[in-house]
A and B are shown apart, each in its own frame.
Chain A
Amino acid sequence: MIPAAFEYHAPKSLEEALRLLNRHGSEAKLLAGGHSLLPLMKLRLAAPRCVIDLGRIHALRYIREENGRIAIGALTTHTEVLESPLLRTKCPLLPQTAWEIGDVQVRNRGTIGGSLAHADPAADYPAAVLALDAEIVAASADGTRTLRAAEFFVDMLTTALLPGEILTEVRVPVLPPGTGTAYRKLHQPASGFAIVGAAARLTLGSGGKVERVAVGLTGVAPKAYRAAAVEKALTGKKASEKLLAEAARHAVPQDVELLSDLHASAEYRKAMAVVFTRRALEDALARAQSKKR
């Protein structure tokens, strides 16, 4: 790797990191797992004057249950998410999603906070945090604020984080009984990113009716989004294979600006969004049903 010259800081605490970020402002880039920033620097598409490596702030690396929610430190790696017994039992959608990220090396280095803050339109986590109505905590010199996932993603590579803020925590709910989740993904064959990634969360109520459902889609548009029309078509209805297939057809709203690249045209992406939404819903339903029994 032969990047342009940069100044390197490795703060050991969040406070120190925030001070550095304030001092260097837009000249600085935060380094977490490095899977997005370092390739950009290697190619010199990014040439920050200053890199603030968050890797030594061990206090940002945890998964714990707090006040009925599960809090995940921003520097938690994908592997840690994937292997967490707490998440696997109480919020399996995140481990299911982490499993589909990159390869072993990527999962061992990449972090949930880094991935969300970078907001790559083809990253996996955004679909899951949207489907989970997660909360995202941002710290700055002035204190912390909590953002809803739905307001966090603004555009391609752009989030609601303000200059001077560091993403510190993601909070996801403990899923209620009768809930099934799934993440289904069509991989871009070279990079492993999502051409389409569909995260589904489905809670069955009495009589096999869909009590609550959420679907997040990534890879399809400049930012991940909730497939509201799919959710509406399902809520309160008796779940069946046919119903899921019909609902999934609404995966891509009219006004979505579809992505298109070498690996998938807009047309193909749109069709695959429908297929993978249905598959994710089917898996989620099957899991919800098996838990009901």
Chain B
Amino acid sequence: MATATRYIGRPLKRKEDPRLIQGLAHYVDDLRLPEMHYVAFVRSPHAHARIRSIDTTRAQTAPGVLAVLTGQDLDKAMGVIPCAAQLPEMKLALRPPLAKERVLFVGEPVALVVAADRYTARDAAELVEVEYEPLTPVVDPEKALAKGAPVLHPQYSDNVAYRWELEGGDVKAAFAKADKVIRQRMVNQRLIPVAMEPRAVVADYQPGENQLTVWSSTQIPHLLRTQIAAVLGVPEYVVHVIAPEVGGGFGSKLNVYAEEVLVAHLAMRLGKPMKWTESRRENFQATIHGRDQIATMELAVRRDGTILGLRCRILADLGAYYQLLTPLIPTLTGLMICGCYKIPAVRVEITGVFTNKMATDAYRGAGRPEATYFIERAMDLVAAELKKDPAEIRRKNFPQPKEFPYATPTGLIYDSANYQKSLDAALKKSNYRKLRAQQAKLRRQGRYLGIGLSTYVEICAMGPSSAMPAGGWESATVRVEPTGKVNVLTGASPHGQGQETSFAQIAADLLGLEPDDIRVVHGDTAVVPYGIGTFGSRATAVGGTAVYTALTKVRDKLAAIAGHILQEDPKRLVFRDRKIFLKSNPAKSLAFAEAVSAAYVAKTLPPGMEPGLEATHFFEPSNFTFPFGAHVAVVEVDAETGEVHLLRYVAVDDCGRVINPLLVDGQVHGGIVQSLGQAFLEEAVYDENGQLLTGELTDYAIPRAWDVPRLETARTVTPSPVNPLGVKGVGEAGTIGATPALINAVVDALAPFGVRHLDMPARRERIWQLIRRARQAGSRPTARRAGAGRDRRVR
């Protein structure tokens, strides 16, 4: 890029933050419209039941109630909740916005109440009487496959949603010539995304203009608009979607929800503005869940540690119905199962299964954390089996830097990497050898230090449209105003990632301006061109590239105008300090604003040039990008209580070129902390009747500040050849890389007790039991006293 990088690469503070931390930002629930009405949902308390009858009489006659509707009332008014994923021979399991004959999970809406205020709506919802005939719920995904298990969707003969297979290389031969086969069943448990802001929707219909405006806390305003139009059966131009401030998504708002289309429908049907804000309990029950895969991994290895082949069978619990991408997520696990290792032969078999639970879908990492966890745990098992250091086993199987672009047997092309370099950096930064020595010393004292490694690669910058369910490109418009100020309109929909800052940095450098000269606009379908949205670590690599290319078009035009005015070759002009000047003679210059003004006044334009100054670009990436890194976790297990204390965390990430290191660190920190949640704390627990026992934050544990030590981050930089910025994406790196490092550390700490594997979350009672069992079996260390039991808070 022949541009000075005065801002790209600098740790600029976020332009978004002043309004957020001063309470000046607007979320959906902050909206108040005249005559606004409120929606409350009546939800099923049963996981599996037939609806015998719904009596809405009492609710309907309650003062202040405008309407009470059931699935039957909506019958012809709307379609089903869309699923964009298509897999060969996949059974459809599409959800009606309100349940009709049956309910298939706890929290499924069966009726709704519209009232003049939210209190009346909630009160009236309790007056709706639903008679259920309970059916046997299907909760355990393994039992769901058993012969004779109740079938969720009666049009099918069993609960198998799909089977998906992938094979590359000669798997049979690899296993035949292996010295050893390492085998392990692993559970990647069901998680609840817990965005700080729950979902919220406001809809307003103006019949005169035939305009339906929907404000939704969503990651995908444009796709939502298309889908609302389709579900409601209205032309797309009727619908206008705005994603105002969005208080966290993590994939849970990369969806089209029943509540969104219902609230939109109600605004049109009843002619009043409608609002619905999800409660935390509803958020737990009826917003998508993540993960929930059971894998059986098999690695064929040579005695020297070379991995010859991999077999993996995955059972993916999809829940009761499909949401937008439900069936697709586990296939990402399949594609990435080799991790950053050169494994010549691979076979993956995935079975998607229906159960009486909320649907799973994309949750930060979406399929890749599962893949990374499975392969990284397996690598540690190989190291343990062969009595080799986990770092050496990894290094032995890395492809060499010169082998990139590297083709995997799963059919992907890893763009660029240097895995050796990031591993070396992480080992050095953590002082790995010294840690091992310390561990040995402490073990002799009866203290259990664990050191866990993870070297990961992820698939990002989603993605080439050929490989995406509904387009993988991104759009940008750069519109320079006559005064010389710049609007960057992006089709991506940032909701915390900080692109209002990083895109302004790119624009400032390309146009020789200051970041304050640039305003980044997003999330409004009437303002920004059609775009795909923010997910899959794509906003900078795909959306940023669209911005970059649109900026280049604007700059070329401005250079032509300035060249014409200055009577110089545009190619010799430089953009800097809000000026356009001759590189060899900076005195020969034109203010940026003057050149812009010329484009609008249109008296001094080069012959034939069209006036105005605006450019749009739709960027179609040629490949995904593949960020990578190496993480080291150091934990101490309190052998008396089973508590795990995270002592240190070192993360070396490579996300290609860095636009703003502060933003990258923020993404890495947040991701690691979410990983910590999965590794140690979080699990959506359904009981045998399909009741969600972790139904509130009092029982579903998420990490707190005191759980997290100072995170030690560093980077290597291997630019991506896939886009001109050389960026790869970093939004999910932490959640993908960290979970296995944390569990590997716990298992490493427990090695003296003969522990080989431990499923997540690493609950202290489970650890306590493993230790106790080992001690009872004798022959294991019987240190009288474990670690001092560090207090969770520093006083």
Q: Which of A54-62, A68-76, A218-226, A262-270 forms contacts with chain B?
A: A262-270
Known: A189-B701, A191-B698, A272-B641. A2 touches B768 (CB 8 A): no
Q: Which residues of A contact B101 (CB under 8 A)?
A: none
Top 5 nearest A-B pairs (CB, nearest first) are A190-B701, A189-B701, A191-B698, A268-B765, A2-B122
Residue A186 at the chain B interface, CB threshold 8 Å:
yes
Contact of A275 among B279, B640, B694 (CB under 8 A): B640
Residue B156 at the chain A interface, CB threshold 8 Å:
no
Residue B697 at the chain A interface, CB threshold 8 Å:
yes
Known: A2-B118, A275-B640, A275-B641. A43 touches B281 (CB 8 A): yes
Q: Please, which residue of chain B has its CB at the minimum distance from the CB of A44?
A: B126
- One digit per residue, 1 when the CB lies within 8 angstroms of any chain B CB and 0 when it does not, for chain A 261-283 equals 01111001001100100010000
What's the Cα separation between A189 and B677 when bound, in Å? Answer: 11
What's the Cα separation between A250 and B685 when bound, in Å? Answer: 34
What's the Cα separation between A43 and B789 when bound, in Å? Answer: 36
Residue A142 at the chain B interface, CB threshold 8 Å:
no
Known pairs A2-B119, A191-B697, A275-B641 / 12 extra A-B pairs, C-beta < 8 Å: A2-B279, A43-B696, A186-B643, A189-B681, A190-B698, A190-B701, A191-B698, A262-B699, A263-B765, A264-B765, A268-B769, A271-B768
Q: Which residues of A contact B641 (CB under 8 A)?
A: 186, 272, 275
Residue B759 at the chain A interface, CB threshold 8 Å:
no
Within 8 A of A (CB), among B747-772: 765, 768-769
Residue B164 at the chain A interface, CB threshold 8 Å:
no
- One digit per residue, 1 when the CB lies within 8 angstroms of any chain B CB and 0 when it does not, for chain A 248-267 equals 00000000000000111100
Residue A4 at the chain B interface, CB threshold 8 Å:
yes
Contact of B694 among A103, A262, A272 (CB under 8 A): A262
Residue A187 at the chain B interface, CB threshold 8 Å:
yes
Q: Please, which residue of chain A has its CB at the minimum distance from the CB of B793?
A: A99
Known: A2-B119, A190-B699, A275-B641. A262 touches B693 (CB 8 A): yes
Q: Which residues of A contact B795 (CB under 8 A)?
A: 99
In angstroms, how far is the closest chain B Cβ from the Cβ of A194? Answer: 13
- One digit per residue, 1 when the CB lies within 8 angstroms of any chain A CB and 0 when it does not, for chain B 779-795 equals 00000000001001001
What's the Cα separation between A2 and B282 when bound, in Å? Answer: 13
What's the Cα separation between A187 and B641 when bound, in Å? Answer: 11
What's the Cα separation between A268 and B795 when bound, in Å? Answer: 27
In angstroms, how far is the closest chain B Cβ from the Cβ of A144? Answer: 35
Contact of A5 among B119, B700, B702 (CB under 8 A): B119
Residue B158 at the chain A interface, CB threshold 8 Å:
no
Residue B704 at the chain A interface, CB threshold 8 Å:
yes
List residues of chain B with CB under 8 Å of any chain A CB. 118-119, 122-123, 126, 279, 281, 640-641, 643, 681, 685, 693-694, 696-702, 704, 765, 768-769, 789, 792, 795
Q: Please, which residue of chain B has its CB at the minimum distance from the CB of A241?
A: B785
Within 8 A of B (CB), among A176-211: 186-191
Q: Please, which residue of chain B has its CB at the minimum distance from the CB of A265?
A: B765
- One digit per residue, 1 when the CB lies within 8 angstroms of any chain B CB and 0 when it does not, for chain A 158-181 equals 000000000000000000000000
What's the Cα separation between A272 and B281 when bound, in Å? Answer: 31
In angstroms, how far is the closest chain A Cβ from the Cβ of B128? Answer: 15
What's the Cα separation between A43 and B641 when bound, in Å? Answer: 33
- Chain B residues touching A, majority SS: loop
Number of A-B contacts (CB under 8 A): 46
In angstroms, how far is the closest chain A Cβ from the Cβ of B706? Answer: 9
A190:B700 contact, CB within 8 angstroms: yes
In angstroms, how far is the closest chain B Cβ from the Cβ of A234? Answer: 19
| Residue picked from B119, B281, B641, B698, most chain A C-beta under 10 Å | B641
B699:A268 contact, CB within 8 angstroms: no
- One digit per residue, 1 when the CB lies within 8 angstroms of any chain B CB and 0 when it does not, for chain A 77-120 equals 00000000000000000000001000100000000000000000
Known: A268-B768, A272-B641. A4 touches B123 (CB 8 A): yes
In angstroms, how far is the closest chain A Cβ from the Cβ of B686? Answer: 12
Q: Please, which residue of chain B has its CB at the minimum distance from the CB of A264?
A: B765
In angstroms, how far is the closest chain B Cβ from the Cβ of A200? Answer: 15
In angstroms, how far is the closest chain A Cβ from the Cβ of B263? Answer: 17
Q: Which residues of B contact A271 (CB under 8 A)?
A: 768
What's the Cα separation between A2 and B119 when bound, in Å? Answer: 6
In angstroms, how far is the closest chain A Cβ from the Cβ of B245? Answer: 21
Interchain Cβ contacts under 8 Å between A and B, 7 examples: A2-B279, A186-B643, A190-B694, A191-B699, A262-B693, A262-B694, A272-B641
Q: Please, which residue of chain A has its CB at the minimum distance from the CB of B122?
A: A2
Q: Please, which residue of chain B has its CB at the minimum distance from the CB of A1?
A: B279
Q: Which residues of B contact A5 (CB under 8 A)?
A: 119, 123
Q: Which residues of B contact A187 (CB under 8 A)?
A: 792
What's the Cα separation between A44 and B118 when bound, in Å? Answer: 15
Q: Please, which residue of chain A has its CB at the minimum distance from the CB of B705?
A: A103
What's the Cα separation between A4 and B694 when bound, in Å? Answer: 24
Q: Which residues of B contact A103 (CB under 8 A)?
A: 704
Q: Which residues of B contact A263 (CB under 8 A)?
A: 699, 765
Q: Which residues of B contact A190 (CB under 8 A)?
A: 681, 694, 697-702
| Residue picked from B122, B693, B697, B701, most chain A C-beta under 10 Å | B701
| Residue picked from A5, A189, A191, most chain B C-beta under 10 Å | A189
What's the Cα separation between A195 and B697 when bound, in Å? Answer: 16
A262:B698 contact, CB within 8 angstroms: no
Q: Which residues of A contact B769 (CB under 8 A)?
A: 268
Q: Which residues of B contact A99 (CB under 8 A)?
A: 795
What's the Cα separation between A5 and B63 when bound, in Å? Answer: 14
Within 8 A of B (CB), among A39-53: 39, 43-44
What's the Cα separation between A268 and B766 when bound, in Å? Answer: 9
Q: Which residues of A contact B123 (CB under 8 A)?
A: 4-5
What's the Cα separation between A246 and B795 when bound, in Å? Answer: 29
In angstroms, how far is the closest chain B Cβ from the Cβ of A38? Answer: 13
What's the Cα separation between A38 and B362 when bound, in Å? Answer: 34
| Residue picked from B118, B700, B795, most chain A C-beta under 10 Å | B700
Q: Which residues of B contact A189 (CB under 8 A)?
A: 681, 701
What's the Cα separation between A128 and B704 when bound, in Å? Answer: 26
What's the Cα separation between A44 and B122 when bound, in Å? Answer: 11
Q: Which residues of A contact B792 (CB under 8 A)?
A: 187
In angstroms, how far is the closest chain B Cβ from the Cβ of A103? Answer: 7
Q: Which residues of B contact A265 (CB under 8 A)?
A: 765
In angstroms, how far is the closest chain B Cβ from the Cβ of A1? Answer: 9
Q: Which residues of A contact B768 (CB under 8 A)?
A: 268, 271
In angstroms, how far is the closest chain A Cβ from the Cβ of B341? Answer: 34
